[in-house]
């Protein structure tokens, strides 16, 4: 990825992709003082850009630092970079971190850096697997108690558990892993939220210790618009036995059907299929009527 073409927006400058470097003594690298976003552009427009940028600011605040660029400035930088990169459909990755001015756990006065990279990242899961539903492993590690970490922050440090879980799942031939929370309730996948369907009703865990995804909220809205009942509640893993359909939601994953989680099996049913299509439609920019 460090060899791609184009430019990266780096502390208010557009720098050649290969030159967007940071020092090895960056606090963000040693102590995980880093927060990021994942966004997608469709037809040249970044979907829900403002919500993502607001979450980036909030993620930083939860880690005790302030990004030295306003929400408006970051939105503008993302839009400008998208144009300069020349993509219609692309993935957008802003990241903010504490710099290398001081070394040690305390780094109150280190510079807060911000970079934005945009590249083409068509499908998070293999397209042929997506339609049939992907297979998930049950993760070994759990999402931590909110009393132990600021779990609403999209903080790099929280992804340690996700990478461990995803690597373990992939080594066993699965596409991803489902993580439980510290109480043993169903939480989320390693980079996406999870939904289930039973008797025409959609069930999804209450996001009280993991990311309340922007896609998750969009899909809940789309489901309710279709007249589906959506219930947010605590879900125990044993309940998966009785669920008929399952899908993941996330900016990168979009709406991805799931066929298998550990010992449980699901079909790619009507509700999942409808929401895959509704989401695909919702992300497209509204075009002015031609001529």
Supply the residues annotated as catalytic: 154
State in angstroms the smallest separation of the CB of 83 from ligand PMP: 23
Q: Which is nearer to ligand PMP, 68 or 144 (CB)?
A: 144
State in angstroms the smallest separation of the CB of 74 from ligand PMP: 16
Per-residue tokens: 184? 């043993």
Cα 241 to Cα 127: distance, rounded to the nearest angstrom = 26
> What are the counts of helices (DSSP H) followed by strands (DSSP E) for the chain?
7, 16
Q: Which is nearer to ligand PMP, 85 or 215 (CB)?
A: 215
Which residue's CB atom is positioned nearest to ligand PMP?
A: 213
Please calculate the CA angle 79-82-84 and round it to the nearest 5 degrees.
Answer: 110
* Chain residues that interact with ligand PMP, rule: CB under 6 A: 38, 162, 188, 191-193, 211, 213-216, 249-251
State in angstroms the smallest separation of the CB of 150 from ligand PMP: 14
Q: Which is nearer to ligand PMP, 100 or 218 (CB)?
A: 218
State in angstroms the smallest separation of the CB of 1 from ligand PMP: 18
Place of tokens 């780096």: 10
Cα 236 to Cα 180: distance, rounded to the nearest angstrom = 9
End-to-end CA distance of the chain: 41
The answer to whether 158 and 190 have CB atoms below 8 angstroms apart is: no
Q: Which is nearer to ligand PMP, 40 or 135 (CB)?
A: 40
Cα 44 to Cα 285: distance, rounded to the nearest angstrom = 8
The answer to whether 109 and 147 have CB atoms below 8 angstroms apart is: no
Q: DSSP letter at 241? A: G
């Amino acid at each position: 990825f460090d060899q791609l073409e184009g430019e990266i927006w780096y502390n208010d400058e557009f720098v050649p992709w290969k030159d967007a470097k940071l020092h090895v003594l960056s606090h963000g690298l040693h102590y995980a003082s880093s927060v990021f976003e994942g966004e997608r552009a469709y037809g040249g427009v970044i979907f829900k850009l403002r919500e993502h940028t607001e979450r980036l600011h909030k993620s930083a605040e939860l880690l005790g630092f302030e990004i030295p660029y306003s929400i408006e400035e970051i939105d503008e930088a993302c839009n400008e970079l998208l144009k300069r990169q020349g993509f219609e459909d692309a993935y957008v990755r802003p990241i903010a971190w504490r710099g290398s001015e001081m070394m040690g756990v305390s780094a109150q006065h280190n510079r807060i850096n911000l970079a934005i990279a945009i590249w083409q990242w068509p499908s998070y899961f293999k397209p042929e697997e997506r339609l049939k539903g992907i297979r998930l492993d049950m993760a070994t590690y759990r999402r931590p108690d909110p009393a132990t970490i600021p779990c609403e922050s999209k903080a790099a440090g929280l992804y340690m558990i996700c990478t461990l879980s995803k690597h373990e799942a992939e080594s066993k031939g699965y596409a991803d892993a489902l993580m439980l929370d510290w109480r043993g309730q169903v939480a989320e996948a390693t980079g996406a939220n999870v939904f289930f369907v039973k008797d025409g009703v959609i069930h999804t865990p209450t996001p009280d210790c993991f990311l309340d995804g922007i896609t998750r909220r969009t899909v809940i809205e789309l489901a309710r618009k279709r007249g589906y009942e959506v219930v947010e509640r605590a879900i125990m893993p044993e309940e998966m036995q009785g669920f008929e359909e399952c899908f993941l939601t996330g900016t990168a994953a979009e709406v991805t059907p799931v066929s298998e989680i550990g010992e449980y099996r699901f079909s790619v049913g009507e509700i999942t299929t409808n929401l895959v299509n509704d989401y695909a439609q919702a992300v497209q920019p509204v075009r002015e009527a031609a001529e």
